[in-house]
Structure 1
Amino acid sequence: MSDTTTSNESNNPLGLSSIPSVSSEGLVPVGRRASLNSYIAALWNRRHFILAESRAKMSGSTKRNLLGYGWMFLNPILSVMAYWFIFGFILQTSRGVENFLGFLVVGVFFFQYTGKSMTGGTGAIRSGASMIRGFQFPRAALPISTVVRNFLDFIPTVLVMFILIAIIPPLESITWRVILIFPIIALQTVFNLGLACLLARVGHKLPDVSNFMSIVNRFWLYGSGVMFVIDDKLAGHPQLLAAMQFNPMYSYLELTRNSLLYGVDSPWWMWASAVLWAFGLLIVGFLYFWRGEESYGRF
């Protein structure tokens, strides 16, 4: 028997097979923040999971109601009726506003799209705590899933909006500018993604922020020109008017109204504001969320 065999038997007296060694190259601890390129690639690889989860939450919320998907149409319509009664009929903010009901429909429908993404994004990490503890995945999938779900809810309401505008007098003459609705919705969706990612980390660090979201949402609603024309009400306060026009929702609502209701061209600065807000907030919000990736498993 060779010396090599004798040496191996002395080192392994029980005759067990040797344990293979594994290189640690390329391995990272669980929860460690990946590089930005790897993180984005991982999100893209889980796009089907994000879409499936969004659809599951969407169907799960509707099954709990007797009318099911009907509330996707009734909620914005009832909101429009309530705002019309208070602001249009009682407070008479409809004076001087061409097609006030259409003006209100666009404002309510489009603002609710962003408002839901804001409140849902704020609680995305805490509502997904069990999933974070049980699975390893890019945590940005949670706020993104919230926005995707709201987008899926929003599409049918856009169809309802078109029907309401088409049948409620005064009837508007449709121009080629109606196709601009699609890039406007795309820009607003990009803006919602950035907003949800930004607030998801803020809501995780400061849980009490979620209690203020309804107040912030209401203040933002009144400051975005949903129920009245800001330009008329603040004509005597140019600095306040400029601050209100800097509001991203003001640009998205006015672009939609000009393209769909009034058939006129929007000023270039309004398009520039919509683009800068959308992609600027997406970059800032996503990077801010990504830098906190390691902390989302701690509650």
Structure 2
Amino acid sequence: MKGTVESLIKKLGLDISSEQRQYLGFLFENLHLEELSDKEQHFFVEYFYKSEALRKMAAFALELADVMHEIRENVPTIEQAERLANGKEQRLYYEQKRQETRRQKLKQQTAKNGNVLYVPFNDYKQERGPFIICLEQTAGMAKYSELCKSMILPLFLNAHQEQRDLYIVPYDCQIHVHYRFENGHLNLSDFKDFIEYQAKGEAAMLPVLQFVKGLLQENQHCTETDVIIFTEGDPVDGPYLLGKHAKTMLEEMKQRYHAEFSVIAMNEHRFNEHHFWFANKAIFADDAIQ
């Protein structure tokens, strides 16, 4: 990987410091850029050279290695009591656990008529659902924007390794755009737009949750969808999340579409846990910001 990065820098004749080379190497690894064409790799390196925001995000990502390791090891959410020390062993353990659960389900749903067995293989072959990242992009979140995006970068690697789609949904009081990265593969145009995207105003949760429900309906053949919400912690429509309509919608998302919700809140003091009652867990970024 290092040789590829150095070769590209030399070929393009760019004046990049050793520190920036380290950032670029991180991006190549986590965004699996070796799969892009030579032309696309050239474009990315040149974009990195010109984009101060992307360089800052890569720097944040390296500085927050411990925080991001925690995120990567805990998404999808796992039971604390069953965590294993070694990440590779842990992933193998949970994959075996999922396979055993599927085998048991297949056995239970197999019907017998005389000497004929009816086996629901379509259910057995269900794929794991996507990662859906809901990224609050408001006036209040502006100072955290680069930090949040830096935390999202390693999730491309998770999606790619697990062959799961990665959706990024920026939001304020509504949804203006969203990005889909199929099986975690990088689309340079969408990635560039994601890095540069900014919105203003206040945040509302119901519109983004309704949008997420639409994505879940498109992927209803899948299981274990992970929804990760980056937020300042107190949406303007928070009280409505306690209403009957919102609770019914969220319970359906959790039960019918197997969605698990994680919240990464920028400020623990502003975080209203009652409004995020549906979250399986919350992570506070206060320590990382300081």
TM-score for the superposition, normalised by structure 1: 0.31
Higher-strand-fraction structure:
2
Which structure carries more relative contact order (alpha carbon 8 Å, separation 6+)?
1
Higher-helix-fraction structure:
1
